């Protein structure tokens, strides 16, 4: 009988508890340790994994003879904790963003290369229903020549949530939507349409905390322009995705259902969801509207690929080149912002 891979999770907030932990569980990993100094989160970890060891430092977590370290903590300590794992010889999954800046991301990657220890970044939205559906529809040629995509994470939260580091912290402390949601938008756009340069950037704070209203335009070498909007103060959010081609437009209005399922305590047992996880999609050609069968999303595919990479049977799910490309565009967006 094959022994389960031993995993430690640094951080047990939103990312650690509601994304990484259930996906790891579903894919058959053994969560043996959690790093947290928050008593409530420690209690949650023990509720979820009764035999888990709660640690107060990254070194204590690494000392649990891990096969994999998952860094799901606040952005400001991603680099410190990832490098500690790398130097201990433990492969690392780092929640997005890998680093706070391109320089920090390069430092993590250089350490990985010099130590010969693999790393990857959790761009899980590449396994959303909408992301997989876009790839399928584009590859089938139903849209003709794609020339523009609008990709959005927009919501309406007019009051600043000062209790969360994501909203109140400065960019130097890891706060703001440019580091929180834009990595997903950028990484999926690059995955769909290839390398890109930044054509336009507006990064600003409307509520007085971290940056909360961001529009980026990427000009892909393939000829596609990606308009990427991440905002917390849009009273009438646009569709999640609008992909425009010479033969029509693909519309996906709603978010992939997986986050809601994970937050509700569900998980993809055996690496597969036992319920539909497809977003509704429609193809528009003027007055003609055609229902399109959406692909089922599955974030567990990320950890199935991690498992294969640890066994040497496939590449890591997200390359360090991709992590560096996203970090580079984020850095440039902050510098070039018209606001």
Output the DSSP codes for 212-273: -EEEEEEEETTS-EEEEEEESB-SS---SEEEEETTEEEEE-S--THHHHHHTT---GGGS-
Residue 151's DSSP bridge partners are 228, 241
DSSP states of 127-138 as a string? GSHHHHHHHHHH
What integer best gives the mean pLDDT of the chain? 96
Query: In the prediction, which pLDDT does 172 show?
Result: 85
Query: For 127-173, how does the pLDDT look when each residue is reduced to its tens digit (9 = 90+)?
Result: 999 999 999 999 999 999 999 999 999 999 999 887 787 887 888 88
> Can you tell me which residue has the tokens 């050609």?
285
Provide the 3-class DSSP secondary structure of residue 67.
coil
Query: For 29-76, how does the pLDDT look when each residue is reduced to its tens digit (9 = 90+)?
Result: 999 999 999 999 999 999 999 999 999 999 999 999 999 999 999 999
**Domain 6-123+305-315 sits in which CATH superfamily?**
NAD(P)-binding Rossmann-like Domain (3.40.50.720)
CATH of 125-298+324-336, one of 3.30.930.10, 3.30.70.1050, 3.30.360.10, 3.40.50.970: 3.30.360.10
- Domain locations in the chain as residue ranges: 6-123+305-315, 125-298+324-336
The enclosing H or E element of 40 equals helix 39-48
**CA dihedral defined by 153, 157, 159, 165, rounded to 10 degrees?**
-40
Query: For 81-108, how does the pLDDT look when each residue is reduced to its tens digit (9 = 90+)?
Result: 999 999 999 999 999 999 999 999 999 9
Task: Please compute, for residue 311, the number of CA atoms within 13 A of its CA located in the half-sphere on the CB side.
Answer: 12
Q: How confident is the model at residue 2 (pLDDT cuts 50, 70, 90)?
A: low
Say if residues 335 and 200 touch (Cβ distance below 8 Å).
no
State if pTM tops 0.75.
Answer: yes
Query: In the prediction, which pLDDT does 283 show?
Result: 97
Q: Is the pLDDT of residue 1 over 80?
A: no
Measured distance CA(138)–CA(135) in Å, rounded: 5
Q: List the structure tokens of 1.
A: 């009988």
């Amino acid at each position: 009988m094959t022994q389960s891979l031993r995993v430690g999770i640094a951080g047990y907030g939103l990312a650690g508890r509601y994304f990484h932990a259930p996906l790891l569980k579903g894919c058959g990993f053994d969560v043996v340790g959690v790093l947290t100094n928050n008593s409530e989160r420690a209690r949650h970890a023990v509720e979820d994994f009764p035999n888990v060891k709660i640690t107060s430092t990254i070194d204590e977590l690494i000392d649990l003879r891990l096969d994999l370290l998952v860094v799901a903590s606040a952005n400001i300590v991603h680099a410190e904790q990832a490098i500690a794992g790398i130097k201990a010889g433990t492969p690392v999954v780092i929640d997005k963003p890998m680093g706070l800046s391109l320089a920090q991301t390069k430092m993590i990657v250089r350490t990985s290369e010099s130590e010969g220890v693999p790393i990857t970044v959790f761009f899980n939205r590449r396994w959303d229903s909408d992301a997989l559906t876009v790839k399928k529809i584009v590859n089938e040629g139903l849209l003709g020549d794609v020339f523009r995509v609008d990709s959005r994470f927009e919501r309406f939260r007019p009051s600043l949530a000062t209790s969360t580091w994501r909203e109140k912290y400065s960019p130097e402390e890891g706060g703001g939507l440019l580091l929180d949601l834009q990595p997903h938008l950028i990484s999926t756009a690059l995955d769909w349409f290839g390398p890109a340069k930044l054509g336009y950037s507006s990064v600003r704070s409307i509520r007085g905390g971290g940056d909360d209203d961001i529009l980026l335009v990427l000009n892909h070498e393939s000829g596609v322009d990606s308009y990427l909007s991440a905002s917390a103060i849009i009273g009438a959010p646009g569709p999640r995705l609008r992909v425009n081609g010479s033969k029509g437009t693909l519309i996906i209005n709603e978010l992939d259902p997986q986050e809601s399922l994970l937050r509700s305590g569900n998980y993809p047992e055996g690496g597969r969801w036992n319920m539909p996880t497809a977003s509704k999609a429609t193809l528009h050609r003027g007055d003609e509207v055609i229902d399109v069968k959406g692909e089922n999303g599955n974030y567990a595919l990320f950890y199935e690929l991690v498992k294969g990479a640890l066994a040497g049977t496939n590449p890591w799910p997200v390359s360090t080149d991709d992590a560096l490309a996203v970090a580079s565009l984020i850095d440039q967006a902050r510098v070039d912002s018209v606001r």
